[in-house]
Structure 1
């Protein structure tokens, strides 16, 4: 196994994919004997801990195009058409990383909220002030929601103890319900941006 710190152009990603495939092809079953019986364990490795950029590169797909069905962003709202498209069965093996979709879907909702007055994906120059106005409005509501979240979280914590006091509260739940509002307000960046997976740690270094 080797480590390489570099940016992620398609050629490098494809080279690494080929290297991993070659290494997997060298795997051999583990054979052993137990109570006079011969046992054999085969290994199947799945390349699923990859982000969308890597999935696009190893499937030779444009970064904003679905690597499963080939749909482009301008076509994705045509639901009746895209549901009938053939899916590349081979691309299903790469699964989906939950981190980036979570961030992108939430970002999508925010950008929709910012644009509710203009109702356009591409904003004209003379309408940008309306989008900025919507953005500030949403940000202010988030600040108000933080205060409501503190009260709500405490109520949930009390409800938990009242209903399930016989089962000790997990530490993760405690942090969210009791200290969540403090963690959110003290974070220098939105929580989602501070929760990158380990494999993304060096990605930001070269970003």
Structure 2
């Protein structure tokens, strides 16, 4: 396996920027990925799935199917392992552009760096078996940019396996928003009327 030229923050910053250019919604998995996304590029188009380990792919794919907008899920390898049972559903229901980015540092970074107990190559095999239309491995910024472009230009579900450094990443404070406020802001941004009329989500 090639040595990674990226770290977690590189991937998250690049994915957030790519999503903004594409007019895509972003869902981030719990723990450090949500914290990093909040501090690197908070925006009303981002939904922080706090306290929902393993669920972000289903949330994002369901939103993609319901709204028809392009959607990105930013996930971690440990969270993908926990939510593996949901991947076939996510791959199947995402009928428009759905890009699932799995940041793979081989550890549970949020809880202290414990190794994710899985065999080599597991994550790409899992995504293919789940039925993702495309499974792309990226190790540097150019490959990541190309993978994001492919995912947005293609219909259906794309799985991007972003291999990153296992070195300790920056530790950011928790998202400084209550989950209810995150939800409300996100729904308003994507066209939901909180007063109850004209709900489209």
One fold, TM greater than 0.5? no
Greater relative CO (CA pairs within 8 A, separation 6+) = 2
TM-score range, shorter chain: under 0.3
User: Could you say which structure has the larger radius of gyration?
Assistant: 1
Q: TM-score, structure 1 length as denominator?
A: 0.26
